[in-house]
Chain A
């Protein structure tokens, strides 16, 4: 999987293509014609997905800190469990520990590509599990600068892609991709994402609103590698350029292949999720 991904990537580098052509690798049909920027963008996205495939499941704790223009802060604590689903979007469970008035609230999402996600919410105050509409992609998550669509599972078919350029991004070399949401009701006209060329870590993303004006920038740092392969950031910061607010996510206690199964991601067991 990895080798194929790397081979495909070679197609993006004209110098490499020439070199390969010179040594007579004419049998590789993928690089036998010049790819358009769209094809190249899609290829990078696919390679990125292939790189992260096979994580099976992971759990982590998320501390979300909201900051307004004056510098006042407010925090939320959420435990996240994600199960990889082959051939469809992932299943994920979020359990809220803070603020105290929503403690015990749990949200279950079965994400799908372009089809609307299936989503359930458990409200502990009245012990009610509610199936909810997942149409609210662009709304703020818990009053933060992250929209629901920023935190959802990122399937290939959710966007159309274009490789804009390759450039240095901090300590890494990055692909700069333009992603245009293909799903309905996105709050964005387009996104520019910086993915490092080695492991497809998302280093930075710019979000443009429906009027095509720069709305937010997400910066992910302190990447840590798990199981000798999968990279996850320990810090993500979303800055809203239009309202001056920002939200920081601090991720701790990442664990992979924890043995979660489909049974841990059922609406019927939501009310006992801990």
Chain B
């Protein structure tokens, strides 16, 4: 890793003098949990600050590019959320239809909205939200070949990123605190196991699809009950080795977007299939206004038959409103129900630009009728309101 950073630094400073491009944002976030906490010492509200700078430098007619994106959150109350990460620190080299990416990068795979099954390259930054869309940078060498018959990506990932988990003070956590200082790996190389992945993607007419294979450390942890240094009960993360095959597909038919994600995952402990399938239908310009309304419906199935998983037999219904106004006002409301357990959750996200460079985001999350056997039970009293004001530059 150190050698890689050194190499990248050399690449930056030896590059011809050209302007760096800067972008990013700095934000203040206030989270309010109106219900009494389920577990001891959990916070009721929290004011935190984040900073996400990005620097890009391009040379050699765009065929070489260095990009660095960092993320910082200052959190006084939840020590685990008080963290920093390198989301990106990579050198991109383009040689005709071949591309090389070396360093730390963040990759997104998939098409569905309610969960991201096939998206396995990056670890999730769980303290940043429960939707799985904030991810930790992954160190990698990524080779891409773009051909008329499709695009092939090869990933070699030396090293693994552990997930982040809230501290004892944090909300939206498991009943016991996760103690990452005692993490256990199946691989003898522990976090230095080298992971591999392949992805082929292509589109034919209005249909886009991707086939992926991953072999390496499971990004989803299992938990072993244990004790911390003070003899307090904790959960110890256990990362197994896994192989995953994935398929994602999206087809456009006029106002309809049909979506499918399927995976088959094999690990020492379990072997299972899971899928999410559904559609997004958009009514453009409702009631003769510029407002677009999208209706999303997705169904998720997981054949582990544990009857207690998240997204094991769940229906997601969402509404998206794009106001198409000067301030780019957007609202997304999503409702998820477990059809077996009847557990429900509702989330509303809204955002609006203020002036030219500020953005206001609001988020409301409710959990309702959570069954005792549902892992979401730990979040039952964690309904929250989140307000964020960000300055972009």
Binding site for B on A (CB under 8 A): 66, 68, 74-75, 98-104, 116, 118, 126-129, 131, 133, 135-136, 138-140, 142-143, 185, 187, 263, 266-269, 272, 274
Contact = CB atoms under 8 A, between A and B. Distances in A.
B327 A268 contact: no
Contacts of A74: 326, 356
Contacts of B99: 269, 272
B23 interface: yes
B65 interface: yes
A133 B292 CA distance: 12
A127 B107 contact: yes
11 contacts: A99-B353, A100-B357, A131-B203, A135-B255, A142-B328, A143-B325, A187-B285, A263-B97, A268-B144, A272-B92, A274-B56
B65 A272 contact: yes
B208 interface: yes
Contacts of B16: none
A133 B279 CA distance: 13
A274 B107 contact: no
Contact of A135 (B107, B254, B357, B392): B254
Nearest to B150: A268
B113 to A, nearest CB: 11
A245 to B, nearest CB: 9
Contact of B203 (A66, A103, A140, A267): A267
A242 to B, nearest CB: 12
B282 A133 contact: yes
Nearest to A142: B328
Nearest to B94: A272
Contact of A263 (B23, B146, B250, B285): B146
B257 A100 contact: no
Given A66-B326, A75-B356, A136-B284, A268 B62 contact: no
Contacts of B56: 274
B292 A139 contact: yes
Given A135-B254, A139-B324, A266 B282 contact: no
Interface string B184-208: 0000000000000000010100101
Given A143-B326, A274-B56, A268 B357 contact: no
A117 to B, nearest CB: 11
B255 A133 contact: yes
Given A131-B250, A133-B252, 9 more contacts: A101-B25, A101-B353, A101-B359, A116-B254, A126-B108, A127-B106, A139-B292, A263-B97, A274-B21
B228 interface: no
A269 to B, nearest CB: 7
B290 interface: yes
Interface residues of B, number: 45
Nearest to B252: A133
A99 B357 contact: yes
Contacts of B359: 101
Contacts of B92: 272
Nearest to A129: B108
B392 A103 contact: yes
A139 B356 contact: no
Contact of B356 (A99, A128, A133, A185): A99
Contacts of A98: 356
Contacts of A103: 23, 392
B2 to A, nearest CB: 26
B393 interface: yes
A100 B353 CA distance: 10
A101 B26 CA distance: 11
Nearest to A185: B284
Counting chain A CB atoms within 10 Å of each CB, which of B58, B206, B390 scores highest? Answer: B206
Contacts of B255: 133, 135
A66 B252 CA distance: 32
B130 to A, nearest CB: 15
A128 B108 contact: yes
A143 B328 contact: yes
B133 interface: yes
A269 B146 contact: yes
B151 interface: yes
Nearest to B202: A268
Contact of A136 (B94, B292, B353): B292
Given A100-B23, A272-B65, A140 B324 contact: yes
Given A66-B326, A74-B326, A274-B65, A135 B284 contact: yes
Contacts of B326: 66, 68, 74, 143
Interface in B127-164: 133, 144, 146, 151
Interface string B250-263: 10101101000000
A139 B290 CA distance: 6
B209 to A, nearest CB: 11
Contacts of B146: 263, 266, 268-269
B290 to A, nearest CB: 5
Closest 6 CB pairs of A and B: A100-B392, A143-B326, A128-B108, A101-B392, A100-B357, A268-B151
Interface in B249-303: 250, 252, 254-255, 257, 282, 284-285, 290, 292
Interface in B92-119: 92, 94, 96-97, 99, 106-108
B308 to A, nearest CB: 29
Contacts of B97: 263
Contacts of B62: 274
Contacts of A127: 106-108
A94 B4 CA distance: 33
Nearest to A72: B326
B358 to A, nearest CB: 8
Nearest to A143: B326
Contact of A104 (B23, B133, B284, B324): B23
Counting chain B CB atoms within 10 Å of each CB, which of A100, A140, A263, A266 scores highest? Answer: A100
Nearest to B291: A139
Nearest to B87: A127
Contacts of A187: 285
